[in-house]
A and B are shown apart, each in its own frame.
Chain A
Amino acid sequence: MDFRFTEEQEMTASVVRDLLADLCQPADLRRLMEAGEARDNARWDKIVEMGLAGILVPEHAGGLGLGAVDFVQCAEACGYAGLPEPLVENAGVALPLLAGASPAHPLLARALEGEITVAVGHGANPFVADADTAGAIVVERDGELHLIEADSASLTRQPSIDPFRRLFTVDFAASEATRIASAGEAAPLLAQAFDQGALFAAAQLLGIAQRCVDLAVDYAKERQQFGKPIGSYQAIKHHLATVQVKIEFARPVLHAAAAMLPQRDLYSRARISHAKLVAAEAADLAARTAIQVHGAMGYSWEVDVHFFLKRAIALDTWWGAPALHRGRVAARVLGGQLGPDSTFCKEQEHA
């Protein structure tokens, strides 16, 4: 029993954090938004150079063969930075899904090299994110998995309030040629992809929550009213402390969910859903609190908080709305082991 990340895991996360601190500040986001481009190519090239695309892809399929626990803090960092490019969905969900269905596919090899990204059309989400910049899309259709190359799909943009989310509905002609997994083969892969999607969405939400607190703290130290920084007043302090408590008690749930993900049982599913619920709540409260602490400035386009508010709104229902996740928690609470010795329960031990 050791609830700590390894030095390698901490180092990987800090490399991602540092890179994004350099290349993905709100000013960079605004520049991208004003240019109207889909992607900051210079930044994406640097991200590709980190070699994280195959982090969750098994070694036999050409990946690094690592686990969710190795990537979860990277996803937090992406949320903290409000990263527009699809590192999390590409490396965290799409490539492991493609590798599970078709480990020898040449498009997977290209994706692992960083030449292309792969987007995911999972039944849990009504849209496909980043389909236009992807080289290929893995789509669920009638329970089966299909792989379509970008130019053979018809994409309809569904503009999001989040200027950096590129959502699409995807039409394509499903055929034997596009199918990479039958319904029977696809089901466990889709379940696994859902857990990864929900887990890494939770990680981004937690990063968003902390970013909102940090933005508000910076402002509260500077902004003076009644002759003092507003951050010296208890009304402001207590708002922010309340959010920080929410974050502190979402973080270990997220990290435990990452460590438990490979169990693929009642307990790991409930823990992932628990993480998604509390991270989304922390992000929601943090964003609203940050707006309140900024006062009228908080409601302005000029202050950066709204970027994070919008991402929090988007991710709250991405990879399962709260009701779905509450249902998965309830299944464990009402049907599984409970009590002081059940924190790290596994189904097999209680079979």
Chain B
Amino acid sequence: MDLTYTDEQKHFRQEVRSWMEAHVPSAPLPSFDASQEGFEAHREWERTLSKGRWGMVTWLETYGGRGLDLIQWLIFEEEYYRAGAPLRVNQNGIFLLGPTLMEYGTDEQKARFLTAMASGDEIWAQAWSEPQAGSDLAAVKSTATLDGDEYVLKGHKIWSSRAVFADWAFGLFRTDPASQRHEGLSLIFFKLDAPGVRVQAIPQIDGETGFAEIFLEDVRVPAFNRLGTEGEGWSICMATAGFERGLMLRSPARFQMAARRLVELYKAHEAEAEPSVRDAVMRCVMDTEAYALSIYSTASRLRAGGHIGAEASTNKIFWSEMDISMHKAALSILGARAELLRSAPAAGDIGKWLDGYFFSLAGPIYAGSNEIQRNIIAERLLGLPRA
């Protein structure tokens, strides 16, 4: 066990730090979920990243990456968040679909989609859930019918993050109409501006439009857009073994940076803070560090050829609960000012903690609700019987 960085890793950190200092926008970009303008500003940032070859550092150079290992990825992320760089508008693409494509895509598919993903030219949304298929995702009813060398898509998808402004979506469709549950499903890509696609924004708790419904009426897409073989969709969606999805959705640096801001806020209000607030702040810092240590441990194991298992589920529960605690601690420091809008004359240094708190409440729900994650942990890690 060696918990020190090599000279090469230190040098790499310095390289990222210098680039970020020179390129990260000085003022925060407008939200990518609130307006086309904010979305495009984030797309432009993705292009800037891509020009520096920082789009996805772990990807092969052929696809716009640098072929770096997971420890270097962690260092990159640490410097990314330390620099206050914008959130990744293409996270559904680069963190979720990208690694899946790498595993299951043909060379032609990789060439077609990965490069444009890493460069920000094509921003992706996920189209899995349906009104009657949420936690019970295997209940999806949307269909894809092969007609020559095209699929005809029909159905209704919902809770698709980024779909309001994104370019593409990857959806789960029933390709075998006689199939039940997990059988007969396929993962198929479609353009969100294709004829027959109607996207309807769903306003969120915070008033933004981070997710949407997608109505598909006879949408024709080339069969080329199917990932993996027909009927393999479920296992592709569920596959966490062997790649990085469970690791990358939320990198530790994001939370460590929030914890640092929380401590700064606490120090600024230490005199009037209750002792219980101090304990809550300490707890948040400990949790963010525990999360970072856990990810370093997993990354070390994966780099040495190990496989990811139930960590994807334990991680998700841990970071989503930690994120809520962190924002709650900040709100309790702010006291009566916590409810104010930032435009209020008395707002002072309230920052974006309330926005962050709302967003944190979605954490235990999206990417598989925490109840489902607990089932997975109980069944796959602890070996308890299925219901």
Chain B residue at minimum C-beta to C-beta distance from A323: B279
Instruction: Mark out the residues of chain A between 221 and 272 whose CB falls within 8 Å of any chain B CB in the assembled complex.
Output: 221, 228-229, 231-234, 236-238, 240-242, 244-245, 248-253, 255-256, 258-260
Chain A residue at minimum C-beta to C-beta distance from B267: A334
Bound complex: CA A238 to CA B378 (Å): 7
Judge whether A66 is part of the interface by a CB distance below 8 angstroms: no
Bound complex: CA A9 to CA B2 (Å): 13
Bound complex: CA A229 to CA B373 (Å): 20
Where chain B touches its partner, the secondary structure class is: helix
Instruction: Mark out the residues of chain B between 306 and 328 whose CB falls within 8 Å of any chain A CB in the assembled complex.
Output: 311, 314, 317-318
Contact with B along A131-171 (1 / 0, CB 8 A): 00000000000000000000000000000000000000000
Counting chain A residues whose Cβ lies within 8 A of the other chain, the interface size class is 35 or more
Q: Contacting A245 at CB < 8 Å: which of B297, B377, B379?
A: B377
Given A229-B385, A234-B387, also A343-B293 (CB < 8 A): yes
Judge whether B204 is part of the interface by a CB distance below 8 angstroms: no
Which residues in B have their C-beta under 8 angstroms from that of A277?
A: 286
Judge whether A301 is part of the interface by a CB distance below 8 angstroms: no
CB distance from B304 to the nearest CB of A (A): 7
Judge whether A11 is part of the interface by a CB distance below 8 angstroms: no
Judge whether B191 is part of the interface by a CB distance below 8 angstroms: no
Which residues in A have their C-beta under 8 angstroms from that of B301?
A: 3-4
**Binding-face segment, B106-114, B237-245, B256-264, B333-341:** B256-264
Judge whether A333 is part of the interface by a CB distance below 8 angstroms: yes
Which residues in A have their C-beta under 8 angstroms from that of B259?
A: 338
Which residues in B have their C-beta under 8 angstroms from that of A232?
A: 384-387
Bound complex: CA A329 to CA B284 (Å): 11
Given A245-B318, A252-B296, A253-B289, also A340-B1 (CB < 8 A): no
Q: Contacting A3 at CB < 8 Å: which of B78, B296, B383?
A: B296
User: Is A330 a contact partner of B282 (Cβ separation < 8 A)?
Assistant: yes
Which residues in B have their C-beta under 8 angstroms from that of A341?
A: 13, 78-79, 82
Judge whether A220 is part of the interface by a CB distance below 8 angstroms: yes
Judge whether A278 is part of the interface by a CB distance below 8 angstroms: yes
User: Is A326 a contact partner of B279 (Cβ separation < 8 A)?
Assistant: yes
Judge whether A172 is part of the interface by a CB distance below 8 angstroms: no
User: Is A244 a contact partner of B82 (Cβ separation < 8 A)?
Assistant: no
CB distance from A110 to the nearest CB of B (A): 32
The number of residues on chain B lying at the interface, defined by a beta carbon within 8 Å of a beta carbon of chain A, is 59
User: Is A4 a contact partner of B285 (Cβ separation < 8 A)?
Assistant: no
User: Is A231 a contact partner of B384 (Cβ separation < 8 A)?
Assistant: yes
Instruction: Mark out the residues of chain B between 227 and 280 whose CB falls within 8 Å of any chain A CB in the assembled complex.
Output: 252-253, 256-257, 259-260, 263, 267, 278-279
Where chain A touches its partner, the secondary structure class is: helix
Judge whether A175 is part of the interface by a CB distance below 8 angstroms: no
Bound complex: CA A41 to CA B311 (Å): 41
Given A2-B1, A5-B1, A259-B1, also A343-B296 (CB < 8 A): yes
CB distance from A222 to the nearest CB of B (A): 10
Given A237-B374, A329-B286, A339-B260, also A1-B291 (CB < 8 A): no
User: Is A249 a contact partner of B385 (Cβ separation < 8 A)?
Assistant: no
Which residues in B have their C-beta under 8 angstroms from that of A326?
A: 279, 282
Listed from nearest, the 8 A-B pairs whose CB atoms lie closest are A237-B378, A340-B253, A340-B78, A241-B374, A252-B293, A241-B377, A231-B384, A3-B300
**New A-B contacts (13) at CB < 8 Å, excluding given A1-B6, A4-B304, A249-B318:** A2-B304, A3-B297, A4-B1, A6-B1, A231-B385, A237-B378, A244-B377, A253-B290, A255-B293, A259-B1, A329-B286, A340-B256, A344-B5
Contacts A/B (CB < 8 Å), 5 sampled:
A217-B384, A234-B371, A238-B378, A253-B286, A341-B79
Residues of A within 8 A of B (CB): 1-6, 9, 69, 213, 217, 220-221, 228-229, 231-234, 236-238, 240-242, 244-245, 248-253, 255-256, 258-260, 274, 277-278, 326, 329-330, 333-334, 338-344
Residues of B within 8 A of A (CB): 1-6, 9, 13, 71, 77-79, 81-82, 252-253, 256-257, 259-260, 263, 267, 278-279, 281-282, 285-287, 289-294, 296-297, 299-301, 304, 311, 314, 317-318, 371, 373-375, 377-379, 381-387
